[in-house]
Amino acid sequence: MDFFANIILGFQTAFQPVNFLFCFVGVLTGTLVGVLPGLGPVAAMSLLLPTTFHVSPVAAVIMLAGIYYGAMYGGSTTSILVNIPGEAASVVTCLDGYKMARQGRAGPALGIAAFASFIAGTFSIVGLMLIAPPLAEMALKFGPPEYFSLMTLGLTVLTFLASGPMWKALIMACLGLFLGNIGMDSINATFRFTFGILELSDGIGLVPVAMGLFGISEVLLNVEQSMRRTVFETKIKNLLPSRKDWSESSGPIARGTILGFFLGVLPGGGSLISSFVSYAVEKKISKTPEKFGTGMIAGVAGPEAANNSATGGAFIPLLTLGIPGNAVTALLLGALIIYGVQPGPKMVIEHANLFWGVIASMYLGNAMLLVLNLPLIGLWVKILKVPYPILFPLILLFCLIGAYSLNNSLTEVGLMVLFGVIGYLLKKFRYEAAPLILALVLGPMMEHSFRASLTMFDGNLSQFFFRPISAVIMTVAILLLVLPLIPGVKKRPAIGEGED
Amino acid sequence: MIKILSFKDFFAGLMFVAFGGTAVWLAQVYPFGSAGRMGPAYFPTLVGGLLTILGAIVSLRGLAVPGQKPGSFHCKPLILVLAGVVLFGFALERLGLMIAIFTLVVFSSLGGTEFRIRGVLILAAVLALGSFLVFIYGLGLQIPTWPFSF
């Protein structure tokens, strides 16, 4: 078919100088953000979003995507060397990775993490490339009820998987949904909850909220602690894993890749859950489960593969259905809408150069990352040693300038700061921000689909269950909501922070 | 006397009930419509209502289940950093970016763990220069740079 023509188109697009440059900037920033604890991909993406307004949407998405999967590479560096996760999905790598470093095996740990990430990342892009177009065709048959059910499922899965009690995440989701209602209503064009403030008429901006919740709040939280980071001083020689390392890792990498891909596709899933599940699986399958936590390379290879593979998978619902499954893809969706690209099943065809260009750039990016992460590891170690008092004013400044440059108005800045404080309070009271952001982005779409569906059904809610696809999805969503209420059914124990 | 086992949950729940209730109340201004033809108030009312119910559940839990302590608050760093950020906002449009950066760095660093005036001023200068080169010169963003420059 014109499959090969598309791939060639993609690579042609990806190799254009601007796109190539943005890909590099993206993966570099992503690695940096992944290496530095306290700043995650969502914050970085929202920070760099304003700088992309002068270039094409293709370059912008290439860069933003690069930040996402780049962070998955960089996160393992801090986990292994400092026992602090660089970003949420690398928490699991701390368990065995740091132990390996203590045993003098930091090199192979870093090496296998990079290689696993590369292999998994590449495979997941292949999967994306093969599955997305046919899925998009199938999705053309989706109507408002299917979309509503899918979005509900996404929110439900995210709240189910969130750390902490489910009702906390549900409250966050409700808040996000409500905030999404502020502004002009999509069907009647009524201004809702704007209180005469002009800047609110377009709704609460995604970028200030994301920067506030994930960027400013992190600074507020980290400033309190003296971040005394003892980076491993041993010489990191021999980054190439041994033959034995490879034989122990190949299984975990393969399993992690497949696991991560499917968990990434699932709305509400993502890199965090993939890495956890991979660790659990490897531990179960291993012949020496008791050794996990003491420096088993399988405990590094599997999760690292999984979290990278999930990034490719996460793009599938976004690019084919226009439905984001987690906070990162929610931000990407917001960005696409800002650029005037309507995500959805038609996007694959109408914006073919965007779709294939991004895919090709992901191959490119993963290759760049392999180079960045192995030879340049010394550089990252040096950066890790930069004291936080120097770093955080820089982060604050970036956020402030970024927010101001959106509209040359202090309103966005004020909004960002407000949400920074809110994010701080949420963290202190152990609520998660990710459901809020996802709900904020999904809110308007959900309402639109809901109202359209009910108009189709003439007010009859049960019709959601008479359409086969919608029925299945809705049932799963409701099951997830109800499951924690059944006594004896334990949610997975809360392990770590939510998805950045 | 009802014993509140978890203040955090109890009051958080009340707060959400208040929030949800306010949402529903605010939404009443807009036409509600019917299930078959939903007005602008429908969805917010649903969401607000859900929030209220969830908030009530949380409050009730607060009466029955002991909760975790919230993370500890350190007021001084928080207030100083926020002050730095807010002052940046005020300074930006009146005094320009360069001065605003100095304000930001000085105040927020006061909220940090170590404060050495020389280091802080050098950092501020570097950031100011860097911002000028990257944002004003490089990216061409329209940001007031010097005092009374517009």
Which residues are paired to B62 by β-bridges?
A: none
- Contact flag A455-B37 (C-beta cutoff 8 Å): yes
What is chain B's mean pLDDT, rounded? 81
Q: Are B59 and B14 in contact (CB under 8 A)?
A: yes
Q: How far apart are CA A212 and CA A192, in angstroms?
A: 23
Contacts of B54 in chain A (CB under 8 A): 167, 170-171, 174
Tokens of B105: 């760095």
What is chain A's mean pLDDT, rounded? 83
User: CB within 8 A of B132, min separation 6: which ones?
Assistant: B97, B98, B145
Those of residues 180-199 in A touching chain B at CB distance below 8 A are 181, 185, 187-188, 190, 192-193
pLDDT at A345: 82
Contacts of A447 in chain B (CB under 8 A): 43
Q: How far apart are CA A58 and CA A357, in angstroms?
A: 7
pLDDT at A488: 54
Q: Is any Cβ of chain B less than 8 angstroms from the Cβ of A425? A: no
Best mutation site among B82, B101, B113 for testing chain A: the one with the most A CBs within 10 Å? B113
Residue A139 pLDDT exceeds 70: yes
pLDDT at A67: 92
Q: Is any Cβ of chain B less than 8 angstroms from the Cβ of A386? A: no
User: CB within 8 A of A184, min separation 6: which ones?
Assistant: A190, A191, A192, A201, A202, A203
pLDDT at B113: 72
pLDDT at A500: 35
Mean pLDDT of B105-128: 84
Residue A305 pLDDT exceeds 90: yes
How far is the alpha carbon of B131 from chain A, nearest alpha carbon, in Å? 9
How far is the alpha carbon of B2 from chain A, nearest alpha carbon, in Å? 23
Residue A440 pLDDT exceeds 50: yes
Q: Are strands A191-192 and A183-184 parallel, antiparallel or unpaired?
A: antiparallel
Of B43, B50, B109, the CB nearest to A447: B43
The ranges assigned to domains in chain A are: 3-485
**Helix A434-457 × helix A327-338 angle, to 10°:** 70
C-alpha closest to that of A214 among A435, A429, A423: A423
- Contact flag B109-A430 (C-beta cutoff 8 Å): no
Digit-coded pLDDT (tens) for A8-30 = 888 888 888 989 999 999 999 99
Angstrom CA distances, A59 to A55, A62, A91, A347, B67, stand at 7, 5, 31, 16, 47
Q: How far apart are CA A200 and CA A149, in angstroms?
A: 28
Q: How far apart are CA A210 and CA A213, in angstroms?
A: 5
Contacts of A220 in chain B (CB under 8 A): 77-78, 81-82
Q: How far apart are CA B61 and CA A448, in angstroms?
A: 34
Digit-coded pLDDT (tens) for B33-49 = 776 677 778 888 888 88
How long, in residues, is chain B?
150
C-alpha closest to that of A277 among A129, A89, A142, A5: A89
**Strand ranges (DSSP E) for B12-57?**
none
Q: How far apart are CA A385 and CA A188, in angstroms?
A: 54
Which comes out higher in pLDDT, residue A133 or B74? Answer: A133
Digit-coded pLDDT (tens) for A45-68 = 888 887 787 788 899 999 999 999
Q: Residue A287's pLDDT band (boundaries 50, 70, 90)? A: confident
Q: Is any Cβ of chain B less than 8 angstroms from the Cβ of A459? A: yes
- Contact flag B35-A454 (C-beta cutoff 8 Å): yes
How far is the alpha carbon of B25 from chain A, nearest alpha carbon, in Å? 11
Angstrom CA distances, A300 to A40, A76, A250, A303, stand at 20, 9, 11, 6
Q: How far apart are CA A456 and CA A147, in angstroms?
A: 14
Query: Of the ranges A1-5, A287-291, A481-485, B1-5, which one carries the lowest mean pLDDT score?
Result: B1-5
Q: How far apart are CA A393 and CA B120, in angstroms?
A: 10
Which residues are paired to B15 by β-bridges?
A: none
Sign of CA dihedral A90, A92, A98, A101: negative
How long, in residues, is chain A?
500
What DSSP designation does A484 have? G
- The runs of H, that is alpha helices, within A429-492 are 434-457, 468-482
Residue A332 pLDDT exceeds 50: yes
Contacts of B82 in chain A (CB under 8 A): 220, 417, 421
Q: Are A303 and A278 in contact (CB under 8 A)?
A: yes
- Contact flag B16-A171 (C-beta cutoff 8 Å): yes
pLDDT at A489: 53
Q: How far apart are CA A212 and CA A209, in angstroms?
A: 5
Q: How far apart are CA A421 and CA A418, in angstroms?
A: 5
Contacts of B108 in chain A (CB under 8 A): 223, 392-393, 396
Q: How far apart are CA B89 and CA B85, in angstroms?
A: 6
pLDDT at A46: 83
- Contact flag B85-A396 (C-beta cutoff 8 Å): yes
Burial pattern A8-26, b for ≥16 Cβ within 10 A else e, equals: ebbbebbebeebbebbbbb
Element (H, E) at A191: strand A191-192
Q: How far apart are CA A59 and CA A66, in angstroms?
A: 10
Q: How far apart are CA A352 and CA A356, in angstroms?
A: 6
Class of residue B145 by CB neighbours under 10 A (exposed 0-12, middle 13-18, buried 19+)? buried
